[in-house]
Structure 1
Amino acid sequence: MSINPSTLTRTAGISAVVAGLLFIGIQINHPQLDTAFATSAEYTVRQSVKVVMAVLSLIGITGMYVPHAKRMGVLGLIGYLVFGAGYLIMMSVEAIGAVVIPTLATRAPAYVNDVFAVAMGGHSAGNIGALASLNAAMGFAYIGGGVMFGIALVRATVLARWAAIMLAVGTGATLAIPFLPMINERLFAVPTGVALIGLGYSLWHRTPAAGSLPEPPPKSPSALTRLGRSTADTRLP
């Protein structure tokens, strides 16, 4: 199996589609975050899926940006770096949640409840240390980067325009969660998930398969080569 830019780009498209499906799927029937849920097998499975989702999303947006870097311009570069940082932080936060939180749930339940409160956009009663700053950085990078990256994709017109618009609107709409307590905050993940699916499919569909790439045209002889041939011809008897 040969590895080439076309194969990598199509793989990134598939990664984005799977990431979008996982992002939507993990929101379905998600139990309330508390210490009882943190010690369950379902919690570990959901956290592990979130880690995989963050990794696949990062691969996906990288495949969207790299082939179209020139057309996306400075805004695209900044959006990609910030959005990518958001997914890197998300991956680390979810990994901490999968590995550390279940152990602390029985030893320090108050701390775990405070962590969950901050994760859901609320406030902690006690001090949760650097996790508070990490969550804030993740939120800023996810929202700000998603909006900028989506706008850059819209302006570049390299992938499905509707999906790029939905990415910008979906990530930006997350800011409304604190002001809409009557709406399940997990519903705000759906537009971003759909956007990743649409963008990933568009990336995969618009990238030709490795075997279908046209062969480069044969190089014409240079002027010096032609001159040399003509000179040699004049010397022939």
Structure 2
Amino acid sequence: MKITYPGLVRCTGLAAILAGAIFAGIQPIHPPDMLASVTTGNWAIIISLKLAMCLLFLVGIAGLYLRQAERTGWLGLAGFLLLTVSFWLQTAFVFAELFILPVVAASTPAFVDSYLGVVNGSPGEMDIGALVPTYGVVGLCYVLGGLLFGIAAVRAGILPRLPAMVLAIAAIITPAAAFLPHEIQRFAAVPMGLALGWLGWALWSERAKARSSGTSAPLI
């Protein structure tokens, strides 16, 4: 099978589909962000999925942007870069949750409590330096990136507008979730995951339709 640039871009839709499904699917079953959770098997499974999700999102978002790059302009570029920074930094946090926290949970529980406090909104007693403001950058880039990317995709009109609108709206309502209990806050991620997965499906189905018809749709 011949490898083409449009084909590779459309294949990234699969990454977006998988990442979106994981993002939405793990929220109801995510273990509590607390010290007792980090050494459990459930934590290892869910956080492993989160790590895969972050990496898949980096690929999927890149493909979604490249498919629309000329039409989305600077707004699309800004949204793409912000989302990329958000999930790139999030990858580092999730890596630590998977490979570092379980190892040090018994010897330095105060560090684990303080680290998880960044996520669950209950600051621990240990000073963990730049991790707190860095996590704030993750959230800011996530919200602004989702909003700008969604608006740019709606304006471009290449991929379906409805999931792009959901993406933008999900980004807008995300800060409001901070006023909810932490276990409820997670559900604010479900619309974002569904929207990105939907856009990924649209990108992938373009490729599938082109293959079934024996044609190659132009990459705009």
The 10-residue stretch of structure 1 (149-158 or 199-208) with the greater mean CA deviation from structure 2: 199-208
Shift of 1:182: 8.3
Query: Quick check: 1:6–1:210 contact (8 Å CA) kept in 2?
Result: no
Deviations 1:81-111, CA, capped at 9 Å, x for gaps: 1111111111111011111111121111122
| Corresponding position of 1:159 | 159
Map 1:49-60 onto structure 2 (within 5 A): 49-60=49-60
Which of 205, 209, 212 is residue 211 of structure 2 equivalent to? 209
Query: In structure 2, what is the equivalent of residue 102 of structure 1?
Result: 102
What is the rounded CA distance, in whole Å, between the counterparts of 1:167 and 1:210 in structure 2?
29
CA-to-partner distance for each residue in 1:38-59, whole Å, 9 max, x for gaps?
0112212211111110111111
- Contact 1:35–1:106 under 8 Å retained in 2: no
Question: Counterparts in 2 of 1:215-230, with a 5 A limit?
Answer: none
TM-score normalised over the length of structure 1: 0.84
Unaligned runs of 5+ in 1: 216-237
Q: 1-side partners of 2:103 and 2:62: how far apart?
A: 34
Aligned length: 215
Alpha-carbon distance in 2 for matches of 1:214, 1:76: 24
- 2:48 matched residue in structure 1: 48
Structure 1 contact 7–209 (Cα < 8 Å) conserved: no
Q: Residues 151 and 164 of structure 1 are in contact (CA less than 8 Å); yes or no, is this contact kept in structure 2? A: yes
Q: Shift of the alpha carbon at 1:29?
A: 2.2
Let me know the Cα RMSD of the aligned residues: 2.0
Q: Distance in 2 between matches of 1:203 and 1:95?
A: 29
Query: What letter matches 1:82 in structure 2?
Result: L
Q: How high is the TM-score relative to the length of structure 2? A: 0.90
What percentage of aligned pairs have identical amino acids? 35
Structure of larger gyration radius: 1
State whether residues 15 and 60 of structure 2, in contact with CA within 8 Å, keep that contact through their aligned partners in structure 1. yes
The 2-side partners of 1:66 and 1:209 are apart by: 20
SS of 2:27's partner is coil
